[in-house]
A and B are shown apart, each in its own frame.
Chain A
Amino acid sequence: MFDTDELVINMGPQHPSTHGVLQVVLRLDGERVVDADVIMGYVHRGVEKLTENRDWTQIILLTDRLDYVASATSNLGYCETVEKLMEVEVPRRARYIRTILSELQRVASHCLWLGTHAMDIGAMTVFLYAFRERELVLDLFEEYCGARLTYNSMRIGGLPLDIPSGWDRKVRAFCDVMDSKIPEYEELLTNNRIWLERTRGIGVISGEDATALGLCGPPLRGSGVYRDVRKDEPYAAYDEFEFDVPLGTHGDTYDRYLIRLEEFRQSLHIIRQALDGLPEGPVMGKVPRLIKPKAGETYHAIESPKGELGYFIVSDGRATNPYRLRVRPPSFCNLQGLRPLIVGHLVADVVALIGTIDVVLGEVDR
């Protein structure tokens, strides 16, 4: 007479907390998730295919549209891969500025993550606070390259522009502001009982599982696995700076939150060092007019705010565009971990867990 049935519910693609057009089909027993199906592809634009018909410089513009909340690091990854393929030497000043830009980008991206993640759990004030600081970073980017979201801020062989005069002073001032704002976020969340209850022990994943799933970035480090491309395979000028890689111990949502907050501080630390030691010189290396790498293939990865962002490029040496370009987007790989994370949790945790892996759908679907 009485029988229970699973409730199948569509979370997304139109849902306030799926961070874009992610669709999660949940099978619920009461409020508990029995099974989940993660469906993506709603913003597939065929970026990888498009690159085969654009010349090497035009592709930088397309990489902006991958992880649109962190386009500077997308630019950097692509440019460095092509430089590696062409064996171009990038001037030291350019490498320093690239480091500053990508760390600023990390701060901006983490601000957006913190805001939306807290918002998903119901703390709406943190959202506005984090966006307030993100705005400052965007202002800095606007002053540097004129754009606030899709920067197109790098070129193969260096940078299109040197930094404007007085910009370094403003960056330094921003670092001080940001330093004083991080305690504000912490005050609202870190020791907040409700925040602790909502994040501690939620979405626990062990280091082995995280590695097996191919997670990267903060979700991987949250499980205590030491992997940071900035340290392991230094690029740009990271080998010249001191910084720590924060690691988690429990592998839960709270650890991932703490890690990203610590990354704020480490990023500011790197930016300050880079500003202190900013060398003089050109920002553009010696690159041929017509960029046409010789035949060959290469893979190069950088640490984007979301994790390991890699580019695999094949050049046939004849055309002025890549034969094949493949992106290894961190969000895509981290999304792999969503299903194991959410099964067994409640509906309310699903939004917290989508937030904690920090996906950007533009990068997932490409």
Chain B
Amino acid sequence: MIETLVIPLLKIAVLLNAVMISVAFMTLLERKVIAWAQSRLGPMRVGPYGVLQAIADPIKLMVKEDITPAKADKLMFTLAPILSLVPALVVFSVVPFGGDELFYITDLNVGLLFIVSVTSIGVYGIILAGWASNSKYPLLASLRASAQLISYEIAVTMTLVSVVLTAGTLSMVGIVEAQQDAGLWFGFVQPVAFVLVLIGGLAETNRAPFDLPEAEQELTGGFHTEYSGMRFALFFLAEYANLIVISAVVTVLFWGGWLRPFPNVDALAFLDLIPSWIWFFGKMFVFLYLFIWIRATFPRYRYDQLMRIGWKVLIPIALANIVVTGIVKVVL
């Protein structure tokens, strides 16, 4: 009873809260990092160095008026933000944050497949939001979103196949263990796949330079133009939760998850003094920072250019990568 029910539920509760809080601070981090990149200070008023801004923002959004446009499809309009947030949170159940069983909720033997399929549900949230708003800019945004997310879904999933080929398992824990056995992070074995997943991940989470469905300057906020208050906040939560998911997945697949550098070199055994979850969060943080950095640096792609990159560049490379991986796997 305790083993099967209480402990998992406790873990889920802790994880959900941790994710929510880290999303809140993620927004602060983003504002701060971008501010530093742009030679300004960022939030400074709420708490020391603006630290409490992360809490003030959600409170502000919660107490704001929740408006449903008169001509919106009420059911879908309400459903959309939920539909985009829930999958983003569910995915965390199979992410191993550390080596011990304590640090993941479950080790699903098809973990990676689970992540891919659940995250693609999140797309519906954005499509429905744009459609249910019954407004022109969100409609354009949702068209963009459906095209963009689906085509990048394909590229990313195909790339993941080559990783699965290398690891020989779909389990997230298994993939990390495979890297331990190989003594090498897969980032070095599959550098092409790493870059593809990074780009595809950016596109799938609607982050700059692929933030077309939001495209503030073109579509005035895109799919969430008509949203306000907590429903708007849910979209934000989903976006940042997805960002954390992508960082976590990249960390697990390519950078050894919770493993220390050179996991098989005994001379570096002192690095094991640092707990495994710190390694994991450290690596994840690097990617979160990278995503923010990219946002501060690059202009935005155009819709047709984005599709061209997806279909004409990423997917062929991903396919070639699978073939090469397969051949190498057979030969060795």
Q: Which residues from chain A sit less than 8 Å from chain B, CB to CB?
A: 7, 9-10, 15-17, 28, 30-31, 118-125, 127-129, 132, 188-189, 192, 194-195, 197-198, 346-351
Contact with A along B291-313 (1 / 0, CB 8 A): 00000111111111100000000
Report B-chain residues with C-beta under 8 Å of the C-beta of A197: 301-302, 305
Residue among A28, A129, A198 making CB contact with B301, cutoff 8 Å: A198
Instruction: Give A123's nearest chain B residue, CB to CB.
Output: B299
Q: Taking the nearest CB of chain A, how far is it from the CB of B219, in angstroms?
A: 8
* A347-B140 contact given A16-B217, A17-B218, A192-B298, CB 8 Å threshold: yes
What is the interface of chain B, defined by CB distance below 8 A to chain A? Answer: 34, 37-40, 136-137, 139-140, 143-144, 208-209, 211-212, 215-220, 296-305
Contact A16/B299 with A31-B140, A128-B38 known, Cβ cut-off 8 Å: no
Candidates B37, B209, B212, B215; contact of A125 at CB < 8 Å? B37
Report Cα–Cα, A119/B39, bound state, in Å.
16
Contact of A129 among B39, B219, B302, B305 (CB under 8 A): B39
Q: Does A118 contact B299, Cβ atoms closer than 8 Å?
A: yes
Inter-chain contacts of B144 with A (CB < 8 A): 31
Q: CA–CA, A348 to B217, complex, Å?
A: 9
Question: Min CB distance, B6 to chain A, in Å?
Answer: 47
Asked whether, in the complex, the Cβ of B299 is within 8 Å of the Cβ of A121, the reply is yes
Bound-complex Cα distance A10 to B215 (A): 16
Can you list 17 A-B pairs with a CB-CB distance of less than 8 A? Answer: A16-B216, A31-B143, A121-B299, A122-B215, A122-B217, A123-B298, A123-B299, A124-B38, A124-B296, A129-B38, A129-B39, A189-B299, A195-B299, A198-B301, A347-B140, A348-B302, A351-B217
Q: Report the separation of the CA atoms of residues A237 and B188 in the bound assembly, to the nearest whole angstrom.
A: 63
Question: Measured between alpha carbons, how far is A15 from B221 in the docked complex, in Å?
Answer: 10
With a cutoff of 8 Å between Cβ atoms, the chain B residues found around residue A347 in the complex are: 140, 218-219
B170 to chain A, nearest CB (A): 34
Instruction: Summarize A's interface: helix, strand, loop or mixed.
Output: helix
The interface centre, meaning the residue of B34, B219, B299 with most chain A CB atoms within 10 A of its CB, is B299
Residues of chain B contacted by A118 (CB below 8 angstroms): 299
Residue of A nearest to B296 (CB): A125
Distance, CA A309 to CA B92, complexed state (A): 61
Bound form: Cα–Cα A39–B145 in Å: 30
Chain A residues in 8 Å Cβ range of B216:
16
Bound complex: CA A305 to CA B209 (Å): 31
- Once the chains bind, are A122 and B300 in contact (CB under 8 Å)? yes
> Of the candidates A121, A188, A189, which one forms a contact with B300 in the assembled complex, judged by CB atoms under 8 Å apart?
A121
Please state if B301 and A125 are interface contacts (CB–CB under 8 Å).
no
Q: How far is the CA of A318 from the CA of B209 in the complex (A)?
A: 62
A16 pairs with B296, CB closer than 8 A = no
**Pairs of residues from A and B, 9 with the lowest C-beta to C-beta distance, nearest first:** A122-B300, A128-B38, A123-B299, A122-B299, A121-B299, A17-B217, A348-B302, A194-B299, A120-B217
B297 partner, pick from A10, A125, A351, beta carbons under 8 A: A125
Q: A16-B216, A348-B218 known; A192 and B136 CB under 8 Å? A: no
For B40, give its contact among A122, A123, A128 (CB under 8 Å).
A128
Q: Are the CB atoms of B39 and A349 closer together than 8 Å? A: no
**Set of chain B residues within 8 Å of A125, measured between Cβ atoms:** 34, 37-38, 296-297
Contacts of A349 in B (CB 8 A): 302
Q: Which of A118, A129, A198: most chain B CB closer than 10 A?
A: A198
Q: With the chains together, A361 CA to B49 CA distance in Å? A: 38
Is A119 within 8 A of B217, CB to CB? yes
CA distance A188 to B299 in the complex (A): 9
Report Cα–Cα, A349/B303, bound state, in Å.
Answer: 10
Q: How far is the CA of A121 from the CA of B215 in the complex (A)?
A: 9
Residue of A nearest to B136 (CB): A9
CB <8 Å contact, A346 and B304: yes
User: Do A198 and B299 form a contact, CB below 8 Å, given A129-B38, A348-B218, A351-B217?
Assistant: yes
Distance, CA A90 to CA B97, complexed state (A)? 76
Give Cα distance in the complex from A47 to B305, angstroms.
44
Docked complex Cα distance between A118 and B296 (Å): 12
Q: Shortest CB–CB separation between residue B74 and chain A, in angstroms?
A: 24
Least CB distance from B296 to A in Å reads: 5
A14: nearest chain-B partner, CB-CB: B220
Measured CB to CB, the nearest residue on chain A to B302 is A348
In the complex, chain B residues whose CB is within 8 Å of the CB of A120: 217
Chain A hits for B218, CB < 8 A: 17, 347-348, 350-351
CA gap between A188 and B209 in the complex, in Å: 14
Judging by beta carbons under 8 Å apart, are B39 and A132 in contact? Answer: yes
B139 / chain A contacts, CB cutoff of 8 Å: 7
User: Is the Cβ of B39 less than 8 Å from the Cβ of A122?
Assistant: no
Q: Return the contact of A122 from the options B37, B137, B298 (Cβ within 8 A).
A: B298
State the CA gap A348–B212 with chains docked (Å): 9
B48 to chain A, nearest CB (A): 24
Q: Which residue of B lies closest to A30 (CB)?
A: B143
Can you name the residue of chain B whose Cβ is closest to the Cβ of A197?
A: B305
By beta carbon, the residue of chain A nearest B304 is A346
| Identity of the chain B residue whose Cβ is nearest the Cβ of A126 in the assembled complex | B299
Q: Which residues of B contact A15 (CB under 8 A)?
A: 220
Tell me the bound Cα distance from A306 to B163 in angstroms. 54
Would you give the shortest CB distance from B49 to chain A, in whole angstroms? 19
Give Cα distance in the complex from A120 to B302, angstroms: 12
Residues in B neighbouring A17, C-beta threshold 8 A: 217-218
Among A122, A128, A188, A346, find the residue whose CB has the most chain B CB atoms closer than 10 A.
A122
| B136 touching A194, Cβ below 8 Å | no
A194 contacts which chain B residues (CB < 8 A)? 209, 298-301
Q: How far is the CA of A191 from the CA of B6 in the complex (A)?
A: 57
| Contacting residues, chain A, for B40 (C-beta < 8 A) | 128
Set of chain A residues within 8 Å of B220, measured between Cβ atoms: 15-16
Whether the Cβ atoms of B39 and A348 lie closer than 8 Å is: no
Closest Cβ neighbor of B209 among chain A residues: A194
Q: Which residues of A contact B208 (CB under 8 A)?
A: 122
User: Which residue of chain B has its CB nearest to the CB of A9?
Assistant: B136
A197–B305 CA distance with the chains assembled, in angstroms: 8
Q: Say how far A86's CB is from chain B's closest CB, in angstroms.
A: 47
Give A116 Cβ to nearest chain B Cβ, in Å. Answer: 9
Q: How far is the CA of A132 from the CA of B212 in the complex (A)?
A: 28
Contact partners of A128 in chain B: CB under 8 A: 38-40
Residue numbers in A under 8 Å from B296 (CB-CB): 124-125
